[in-house]
Chains A and B, each alone.
Chain A
Amino acid sequence: MKRFLAVTLGILTAIGGFVDIGDLVANGETGARFGMRLAWVVVVGVLGICLYAEMSGRVAAVSGRPVFDLVRERLGARVALANLAGSYLVTLLTLSAEIGGVALAIQLATSVHYLLWVPIAAFVLWVVLWKVKFEPMERVFGLAGLALVVFVVALIALDPPWGQLGDQIANPVPPATEDWATYGFFAVALFAAAMTPYEVFFFSSGGVEEKWTRRDLVISRVNVFIGFPLGGVLSLAVMGCAAVVYEPLGVHVDTLGQTALPVAMAVGKLGLVVVILGFFAATFGAALETGLSAGYTVAQYFGWQWGKLVRPRQAARFHTVVLISVLLGVALLLTTADPIAITEYSLVFSAVALPLTYLPILIVANDRDYLGDHVNSPFTNVLGVTYLVIILVVAVAAVPLMIVTGMGS
């Protein structure tokens, strides 16, 4: 029973934890501009994160090595340092965007300007990172993030023209009002929003912290294969709501409030309350994950003691990196940089940084010295290599598409 409960909670947490500011922004925007014509990218992205997280979870459980350990030992000190610089920067940008998202969610609830909330949100974030235990932290925010299920309710309540949405899914080409370049750019953003490296840094490091062994492989797999796809359903519901309400009017979605509006229209004030709670929990939970991931990447590259299982005094360098990262994230927001724009940049650069983090995992997941009989099956390898190609194409295309389309505008 206890095991069953652990699995259930893990799944629920994964659903709530999958959706973050990147998904909310990217799915809302694409829904409004492309209807459901990019929905397939979410499916491709969710399958990709399942594959990537399953491999890294398996390696973590069997060998006890988290992702960035493997990056350094497979790529060597020099290439891994370049990778560290890129991954840390992306994680930092995402952290900043998530803190901004928390502040924007509170602004929606209070009508007080988000910049006033940024320092408060960041301070509370840091206190939680410093004091609160790993499991309750994960569960409280993951479960509260489930409030975003209200998007599914709203989509049904809006009673959309299902046939038309179905046609859009079946015809994955840009609508008359958009060209192929912007279509490509938003495809990259959606893919990156689903396959964010920090999720895997966090997932594998969390597995090591919870002292996973071979016996926990089932828990890891069930979490991945049920949690992430259901999280993908939430993402598609966000996209669907925006598609139904905004696409016919040709309205661009560029605030969090606009993303929430369809829920208010369909379910009323109570729905709005639930949505704001969901936004808050999802972005706060993701801020915790990115804050820790910033520390994980640096500490695991240099081999420092990291994690929440030891006294903070014993992991002084790790906790210093976490603290500095939160401060840098706040500083970036206080330059009045738009959190939504920060989110978009973080998505583009995380697409660029992904291949060098994915490749070592794919290789180690095949290494018998590490995994014994738990190496990838031939089927997993076909998928794994296919995704390596997809990830490479997306990484190469990301920056040119960003420049050509002017961030998709």
Chain B
Amino acid sequence: MLASDLLGRTVRDRAGNPLGRVADLLTEPDEHGRHRVVRVLVTPRWRGRLLGFERPGIQRPWLLERISYLLHRGTREVPWEDVDWSSE
């Protein structure tokens, strides 16, 4: 399985409701130090990279952050197990 197979895919939650497109895959290391994907960043509209403003914490310049926020409104993290990857 490749990252390019997952990123950009349109996905649904387990109940069948649309979540949007996959924008990023968030990993955390397990006890062996291997990086497991634990959460999926989904965004309603955007294709392509989110420029880094989606990361937590204060990002500057303020104006660009606001624009990015408005463009990508609805972007959120969903636990891996809540995502249904089967293509419609």
User: Could you list which residues of chain A lie within 8 angstroms of chain B, going by C-beta atoms?
Assistant: 74-76, 78-79, 362-363, 366-367, 375-376, 381, 384-385, 388
Contacts and interface: CB of A to CB of B under 8 A. Distances in A.
Contacts of A367: 52
Interface in B10-52: 48-49, 51-52
Contact of B61 (A75, A76, A79, A366): A366
B48 A78 contact: yes
Contacts of A74: 49, 51-52
B37 to A, nearest CB: 19
Sort A-B residue pairs by CB-CB distance and give the 10 closest, nearest first: A76-B49, A381-B61, A366-B60, A76-B48, A385-B61, A385-B63, A363-B51, A74-B51, A381-B60, A79-B48
Contacts of B48: 75-76, 78-79
A363 B64 contact: yes
Contacts of B49: 74-76, 79
A75 B62 CA distance: 19
Contacts of A375: 60
Contact of A376 (B51, B52, B60, B63): B60
A302 B7 CA distance: 20
Interface residues of B, number: 10
B55 to A, nearest CB: 9
B72 to A, nearest CB: 14
Interface of B: 48-49, 51-52, 59-64
Given A75-B49, A366-B61, 4 more contacts: A74-B51, A76-B48, A363-B52, A376-B60
A362 B62 CA distance: 12
A385 B64 contact: yes
Contacts of A362: 61, 64
5 contacts: A74-B51, A75-B48, A366-B60, A381-B61, A385-B61
A76 B4 CA distance: 12
B32 to A, nearest CB: 26
A78 B49 CA distance: 10
Nearest to B4: A77
Contacts of B62: 381
B28 to A, nearest CB: 18
A75 B48 CA distance: 8
A74 B59 CA distance: 14
A304 B67 CA distance: 34
Nearest to B57: A368
Contacts of B63: 385
B61 A384 contact: yes
A77 to B, nearest CB: 9
A376 B59 CA distance: 11
B57 to A, nearest CB: 8
A78 B51 CA distance: 14
A55 to B, nearest CB: 12
A367 B57 CA distance: 11
A72 to B, nearest CB: 10
Contacts of A78: 48
B9 to A, nearest CB: 16
Interface centre among B48, B51, B61, B64, by most chain A C-beta atoms within 10 angstroms, is B61
B61 to A, nearest CB: 4
A214 B60 CA distance: 21
B20 to A, nearest CB: 17
A366 B53 CA distance: 11
A75 B47 CA distance: 11
A74 B52 CA distance: 7
Q: Most B CB atoms within 10 A — which of A74, A78, A366? A: A366
A362 to B, nearest CB: 7
B73 to A, nearest CB: 19
A363 B60 CA distance: 8
B49 to A, nearest CB: 4
A357 to B, nearest CB: 14
A394 to B, nearest CB: 18
A362 B67 CA distance: 15
A19 B48 CA distance: 38
Contacts of A76: 48-49
Contacts of B60: 366, 375-376, 381
B51 A366 contact: no
A74 B51 CA distance: 5
A186 B52 CA distance: 36
Nearest to A79: B48
